[in-house]
Structure 1
Amino acid sequence: MAAAAASGAWLTRAATVLVLGFVVASAKAGDVDMVFLESAVSKEAVCLDGSPPVYHFSPGSGAGANNWLVHMEGGGWCSNAVECSVRKGNFRGSSKFMRPLSFSGILGGSQKYNPDFYNWNRVKIRYCDGSSFTGDVETVETSTNLHYRGARVWNAIIEDLLARGMSKAQNALLSGCSAGGLAAILHCDRFRDLLPATAKVKCFSDAGYFVDGKDITGNNFVRTFYKDVVNLHGSAKNLPASCTSKLSPDMCFFPQNVVPTLRTPLFILNAAYDAWQIKNVVAPSAADKKKTWAQCKLDIKSCSSSQLTTLQNFRTEFLAALPRPEQSPPSLSMFIDSCYAHCQSGSQDTWLAEDSPTVEKMQIGRAVGDWFHDREVSRRIDCPYPCNPTCKNRDDD
């Protein structure tokens, strides 16, 4: 019970119950139970600070009782010990700072606003490793006490979900936003292989299609950054072998090099003017020392004409990095809107609401539902900014 007591101390206003090696915590009405997977600690499947991994779980019901939606949280990456140490002090690197939360959007429980997934078993895997769940380094340096164990965290949580009933799934969708959206691509085929051969299994990436682009100085800032992430976390052995057999591991952190090799159906949701990529691929601080892009990065409406030209060029580059029809299976769907946004599936107002964003008169939630249930496979690519008045420009993660 010592572990339960410790976990309980991390959760103000929360009640905790220890059941078979994990702690379940819940708080106010509307919040979804947190599962502190204490049993994972013995497997060394832990957050950056060594604390146990966490997921939120809402059980399925009725016709959705044997269907599973597993959604991975986003939150960027850390590429060196200093960055990872900062994350140890918050929920990005430690479950000690995690709190209960409510579900919305693709995870929402309303039939009206999430008709295709509302009664499924819905899971949100919290992100506390900084490697899109790919890290696995055995050694823990005494000076930093950093645990690079993202892949072990993913494996431990998936094993726990299989034991909860996912091993008998009839339908399953692996999804994620941002770094979690990248993880949905990197773990897609592995997830498929862990589930029954008779199950319908697909993957959905929201704002996870990070491209290998140049910044405003002509350098490949994000390529160098990803290389550092892969090396630091020991990610190489956990990236899709279908890619690493042909390219260096750091290049297999880019979806454009992985998606054409996938065996499992995938849906790509992304803004063509992805807010995170504009801030960190196109105009990262290292390339914008005079901060001439500061206002533009905060609000696309504040961009100068020359900056807008750069953004339109990025859109062209982004679209060119998407898999062409002849490069991908016919089951690949896309929804690429012209919004300045990052992550659009986790909030009800962008997922499926009366005024949510549309492309070709289709809302995101309906497009994803139609694709999963084989009602329609589509590749919707929006016209250039500022053509779409339904956009909700935001930078959620």
Structure 2
Amino acid sequence: MDKSSAAMIPRYQPNLDISAWLNWLASASSQDTYGNHKAKFLTSLQQSVNFPQVFAFEKGRQALYAYFKYLAQTVKNGNVLISAQICPVVPYLLKELGFTVRFVDSDFSYPTPSAHQYLQAIDEDTVAIAISPLYGYLQAEWQPLLERLNKIKLILDLAQGLGFKEQIADLVLAADAVVYSFGLGKGLDTGGGVLVAKESFSLVNYKVKISKKYYTNILVKSLALRMLIYTGLYPFFIQQLDATVERDKKALYSDYLCEAIADDDIYILWNGQIANLINDIQRAQKRAVELGTLPKIAQACRDISVFCNPNAVHLRQIIRFKDIHLKVKVLNSLRQKGIECLSAGEPLPQDYFTMTEQKDFPNARLFRDSSLRLPFLGRLSEAQFNQLKVTLEDAIAQHLSD
């Protein structure tokens, strides 16, 4: 990032409705009222409303761990199929619980595996499949996989998929559990997560954690981030981070072993923030379609129908190039012009996880090499979005002629 750049567009601007935070901090509702807030929130998601089991957690990773811990007690510790492009927390917690992790390569056009790829990976030891959208992108056709599940458990990890509605209705209907995550950068930006499950089970050893400290820490971070952006000091304080770099393994394990559920008053905060997020996603969808019509993007980029799709969530806007060398040049140009973007993708499994079988994932590697992620379009001002479009088109045009 060129820190001298005056026209700064940060990679992510948090969802920050101060009135929602104040309402939650001042809340003194009864448990009956909390139940109403929970029902309202699940209705807002338009997913999983009729699932009998609903638990709120301080973090989404704790919700995921809670379900797989239950699953480990009810089935043999067989294989769990997951995407090769997934947050490394997931395979580590599966391994911790005794499951064998089997990574499935990405689809050639999507950053996630297709139904056909999961089908090919199923064997007699497969006990569960976890489907996880990346940056808010996911295939539409899942029926062949759903017809094959039988006793195989299906888990939807929507840490980066909050905002999908009818697009994944069939998946939700077939799922045994759905996990949501609301941490900073996930759209809702409050902290916390939710586990909804079809099977009735109890978290007998889990205590209710009523401390608001974790959430208020996120509020402080969001306020500080907004202030740095507003004052123009952001590039001097925020270190350029790249998710493709190997992460600290201690950080990966952080807190997911915590056996505590959140107090139901947290639904007050989530209800206050979700309307903003839905509006932001709708704005991002319209802008993604507009990006896909730009002449230089149409000329230089691939899989435009995927990443400029009006039905995707676009938590980060992905631009995928036909030429991986052009991607690097455009990425550097955008950074120099004050647009904070990063290479797309999670670490490749062989770079952080010990495996005895498949050791390379060519589609996932190609996705990482050819893709960059732009800021969340839904939270850019009109001036910022127009600046991004012009700068992106100019950068592509410049380097196409190199």
> Normalization by structure 2: what TM-score?
0.28
Q: Would you tell me which structure has more strand in proportion to its own residues?
A: 1
Q: Would you tell me which structure has more helix in proportion to its own residues?
A: 2
